[in-house]
Amino acid sequence: GHYDRRIRKGAYSELSDMTSGFNDILDKMNNLDESRQEFVSNVSHELKTPITSMKVLADSLNTQEDVPVELYREFMADIVEEIDRESKIIDDLLSLVKMDKSSMTLNISSVNINELLELILKRLKPIAQKKNIELLFESFRPVVAEIDEVKFTIAISNLVENAIKYNRDNGWVHVSLNADHRYFYVRVEDNGIGIPQESQKMVFERFYRVDKARSRQTGGTGLGLSIVRNAVLMHHGAIRLHSEEDVGTTFTVRIPLNYVPE
Ligand code: ADP
């Protein structure tokens, strides 16, 4: 009867919801596969570049007769630079793998966020001083939260390092801490070069850099912000970005005060 049809109709629309749900999942899996392939090809490219340069440098020293000592030194310095770069990429990759959402190994404890942020900024002060950048911390309230201290530290350090790196001499970086009854908020604000509108969606992607040459020059790998995002998501948090070219950039991280495992 009427009732029966309603049930059948309900069941049908449930079924069609389910199929479209499956399709979504299939789409996601296809994308995942693609992004994994892309990731592997990016990793290989990034890792090979320094190796190729080192080989060229070493080969040319090896095949030349009577290499002047200055040239020898210059090439060796270049090789050391490439080695440093290679180790930075490997370190970042290891952090990224550690913070992959699928390897859910958070080491949660109750942490005084004010103290931790003070410590993080103290460690980064020397880098800021090199560019005469003012590094300020402002706290609107004392915060204690359940976080993974190591992963949170890596995330915030990455944001502050970027704020220094993509800034001019004599610029400033302001870090602030606030909270409501559910979340705490860390804001990292700089008056640096900013991120062009069209790049803002992409900066969290692995290996994405707005300006490859500049990022390379400053020792960037393009992995920093994907590490930050993974760390924040592991805490069931969120990250937001506001930026204007030649004006500055603000990243806001929101993390629950209490960690609830899923
Ligand atoms: P990188 O190792 O290149 O710094 P990230 O993943 O940390 O990689 O950042 C991706 C890109 O986003 C950077 O190459 C840079 O172009 C841009 N970016 C990140 N943070 C800032 C910032 N505070 N100001 C301007 N540009 C930034």
Q: Where are the alpha helices (DSSP H) in 166-240?
A: 212-217, 224-234
Contact 151, 106 (CB under 8 A): yes
pLDDT tens track of the chain, all 262 residues? 444 444 455 555 665 666 666 666 666 656 656 667 777 777 888 888 889 999 999 999 999 888 899 999 999 999 999 999 899 888 888 888 777 655 568 889 999 999 999 999 999 999 999 999 999 999 999 999 999 998 999 999 999 999 999 999 999 999 999 999 999 999 999 999 999 999 999 999 988 889 877 777 777 788 999 999 999 999 999 999 999 999 999 999 999 999 988 7
Q: Whose CA is nearest to atom 25 of ligand 1?
A: 194
- CA neighbor of 89 nearest in space, from 55, 45, 59: 45
- Beta strands of 67-208 (E only): which ranges? 108-112, 134-139, 144-148, 172-179, 183-190
Ligand 1 atom with minimal separation from the 206 CA: 6
166 touches ligand 1 (CB under 6 Å): yes
| Ligand 1 centroid distance, CA of 198 (Å) | 14
For β-strands 172-179 and 238-244, DSSP reports them as unpaired
- What is the three-class DSSP state of 259? coil
Ligand 1 pocket test: pick from 209, 242, 244, 251 the residue with the most ligand atoms within 8 Å of its Cβ: 209
Helices 69-98 and 224-234, packing angle to 10 deg: 20
Residue 199 CA, ligand 1 centroid: distance in Å: 10
Residue 225 Cβ < 6 Å to ligand 1: yes
Atom 23 of ligand 1, residue of closest alpha carbon: 163
Q: Of all protein residues, whose CA lies closest to atom 16 belonging to ligand 1?
A: 210
Measured from the Cα of 219, ligand 1's closest atom is 2
How many A from CA of 209 to the centre of ligand 1? 6
Burial of 107 (0-12, 13-18, 19+ CB in 10 A): exposed
DSSP state of 180: -
Count the neighbouring beta carbons within 10 Å of the beta carbon of residue 74.
13
- State residue 219's pLDDT score: 72
Does residue 203's CB lie within 6 angstroms of at least one atom of ligand 1? yes
Dmax over CA atoms of the chain, in Å, equals 99
User: Strand, coil or helix: what is 125?
Assistant: helix
Q: Is the CB of 133 under 6 A from ligand 1?
A: no
- The three-state secondary structure class of 204 is coil
Q: How many Cα atoms are found within 13 Å in the side-chain-facing hemisphere of 122?
A: 6
In the reported structure, the alpha carbon of residue 207 is separated from the centroid of ligand 1 by a whole-number distance in angstroms of 10
Q: What distance in angstroms lies between residue 86's CA and the mean position of ligand 1's atoms?
A: 18
What's the pLDDT at 91? 87
Burial class (CB in 10 A: 0-12, 13-18, 19+), 68: exposed
Distance 83 CA to ligand 1 centre (A): 22
Q: Which residues pair with 190 in a beta bridge?
A: 173, 249
What is the best residue among 88, 203, 205, 212 to mutate for testing ligand 1's pocket, by most ligand atoms within 8 Å of CB? 203
What ipTM goes with this model? 0.98
The pTM for the full model equals: 0.78
Ligand 1 center–CA 31 separation, angstroms: 24
